[in-house]
Structure 1
Amino acid sequence: MRIALPVISALIVLAGLPQAAPAQGDFPSRPIRIVVPFLPGPAPDAVARIAGEALSQRVHQPVIVENRAGAGGTIGADYVAKSAPDGYTLFLATEAPLGISPATYGKLGYDPVKDFAPISLLATSGFYLVGCPKLPINDVAGLIALAKTRSVSYATSGVGSYHHLTGEMMKMRGGFDMVHVPYQGASAAMVDVMNCAVDVGFVAVGSVLPQIKSGTAKFKVLAVTTQRREPETPDIPTIQEAGIPGVDMEGYYGLLAPKGTPRPVLDKLSAELAEVMKTKKVIDRIEALGMHVVASTPQVFGERIRTDLDKFGTLAKEVNLHVQ
């Protein structure tokens, strides 16, 4: 059978074209991965699992949480930035890899604006300043006074982390000194605070609120880093109320995809997450962990990323913080 020349030409042209992205109605057709750039357990991991479970029920596909921890979240960020832009690999980001690391690291393998497509903010969380249970003080004023009589140490989840910047900001604006002790993750830092190997540290509200509310916490809570008190612990003052001005540090948790992910796929994910974050079950679970649900449009999330880049860039210069 002979095929007409125009038909052959058309077939050659079609064969050379890239395969069309799946239509919005076809997505997802297989499991979705949410990459969390931190260890299992703490607040980012919890948010990913709560949102992922609810998202799975809506899209009728498994949503798998994969932890790729290290280097302040930059390992996971770099991995997702280089993943296929098809909507099947998502990034549960915090301000650490998207705002702080670009301000403190000399060079990264990704650009927080150019290499990611924001989908939605999911939640925000403050941090508690907590102390060793044997520490002879109960508030920030006592900590400042103690630091003027002996060396005081503070534990963080790593050099260049949110905790690190908060501690350096406190020192600079409070006029006192503390010795920084970095750990590989917030959990390890908290263990040594509770064991009194270090004096104080920072921990996400959501990570320790259950222990505080049940009265089983093995540490002292000195203050909260946000501009307002936490509704679940109204008796705990803010660092600003304790006398150190300008300390307002509230972290976020949000989902992004690699840049180049088809717009219909991003719109589908954004729409589904907007519904997920309205459900009572998700709200109750997130608020029970001391976090606040903040579902947003991709545009709002993108603006938060750009604002944080400016904020942390300025702060890193003020405290002269550079990670090698």
Structure 2
Amino acid sequence: MILVTGGAGFIGSNFVLDWIASTDEPVVNLDVLSYSGNLRNLASLQGNARHVFVRGDIRDRPLLDRLLADHRPRAIVHLAAESHVDRSIHGPGAFLHTNVEGSFVLLEAARAYWSGLAAGRRESFRFLHVSTDEVFGSLEPGAPAFTETHAYDPSSPYAASKAASDHLARAWHRTYDLPVVTSNCSNNYGPYHFPEKLIPLTIVNALAGQTLPVYGDGLQIRDWLHVGDHCRALRTVLERGRVGETYNIGGGSEFANIDTVRRVCALLDELQPDPAGPYERLIRLVADRPGHDRRYAIDTRKIERELGWRPTETFETGLRKTVQWYLAHAGWVREVQSGSYRDWVAQNYATRTPGPA
């Protein structure tokens, strides 16, 4: 059995679904069900005895101790995190509470549990700490992609909080010998992605005939990784990754944000055309976010060389599957677009001065 934190969020729910489909091993899924955690993502596992869901906070040490004592997992996959840059700018406190304090409490609970295991189980136990490429900061055009040894230079409260959690995880390995493995991934996309992020926001706004906001000049470059490829990479790192090591996970698909939005529009024009005209007509450049990183790119040679992992989805195939998923799951979209979601969109975009398409 493994314990997954944040398993009702975007990456977490995809990981849990992938794990259940790909292995015969049970999962204990701990999630606090904040605004982006959604049990409907896991509806297909209802009644499945191999999936045990527990609603709770990773800062709740007594709860963690009980779960570890009762279920005796062989590994912890730590995915629970506040992860939206814009939300971290508006309210950084929640990011420090969850990403820093929460990771500390979880590491301490894991250390106590691991220390009490019998020798064989202690040697095989793993703590997989899942992080982001945003901890590295911004790359200049033409600069080499981030490697695992790239210096940390976070720009946003979100990235800083994740950098802090990475440092904690590595310190707990170096000081206490806790068997930690860390991964840093590029921008994920795919099913169940909460529609505050670029690709799902573009899809749901376009279908509603609403403005498609693009920050600044739209030339910020992101390396896109399909969440299915990420889940497969995490399984690989958990199975064969070396203790104390870090593995970068990227999609090898660098595109400017404005081009990504245009690609989504072109797919929607093909799959669900709007009688009012091409969806690209809805694109508007808006005021940029503070400290917006210009480029991310991930060097995946280490995970390819050591563990044999490579992405299977191109951006073209993955993006088409993603758009098709949202078109087929309008009910899921309606459910997550609650009053609190609409309030957030209004808060984040109402004050951004629109510019030309």
Q: TM-score range by the shorter chain?
A: 0.3 to 0.5
What is the TM-score when the length of structure 1 is the normalising length?
0.33
Answer with 1 or 2: which has the greater Rg: 1
Greater helix content: 2
Q: Which has the higher contact order (CA 8 A, sep 6+)?
A: 1
